[in-house]
Chain A
């Protein structure tokens, strides 16, 4: 991963793009919320929401890639304004039809304008999602501000050296 600038997810997730402890009737509504949150953060137009739902209709619930976790996304298109993330935690988990990983309690919306520009974001996302303790805290967070606070804490824990040296490196 050398050569890719380290990204703090808190910088990528505006409060407008975070919805916590939502209640939805089904997976379509869950993805729709993730889409609305991307729109609210200025990453996509509402057409992208429909594209994310259509992707699951076409290819199945493969976006549920770990227990309780769905990465809602579609491909780069005119509906993507910039690379961005949204975050929707669900008060009551919903079924996506993925036998290995249902039910889903966290839907992360992802938009990318091309195949490479968001790799820094994906790398940062992977670091958070693989940390079971941090992920559990994030899922339990009851406000967008709390989600960002936890992500900032996590980011600081990941880069003690840059804390000491300030942000002047590179």
Chain B
């Protein structure tokens, strides 16, 4: 499974979200490849991704992709991340 975390610049918030998503995936026992990306390259990367994690402000910028675009409100709420990932994967 491939998951992309997206922020505006690809160096800040998407990196934090990637770290917390990886932590959640380990806890859930899900094997996935998580990559951080900036909004400029995210659309291309989303083509072969299963899930895109991002914030409410950036989600509309991702556009129309096959991947499931999930909005995370609190990047440090592991329960929110786990619940939304689980709902998407099941």
Contacts and interface: CB of A to CB of B under 8 A. Distances in A.
A63 interface: yes
Interface residues on A, range: 20 to 34
B8 A62 contact: yes
A67 to B, nearest CB: 6
Interface string B36-68: 001100000000000000111110010000000
Given A75-B38, A123-B19, A66 B76 contact: yes
Nearest to B36: A115
Nearest to B59: A62
A122 B9 contact: no
Interface residues of B, number: 26
Interface stretch (A29-37, A125-133, A141-149, A159-167): A125-133
Contacts of A168: none
Contacts of A63: 8, 12-13
Contacts of A119: 15
A63 B57 CA distance: 9
12 contacts: A62-B8, A62-B54, A63-B12, A66-B75, A69-B76, A74-B9, A75-B11, A76-B11, A100-B74, A101-B73, A122-B19, A129-B76
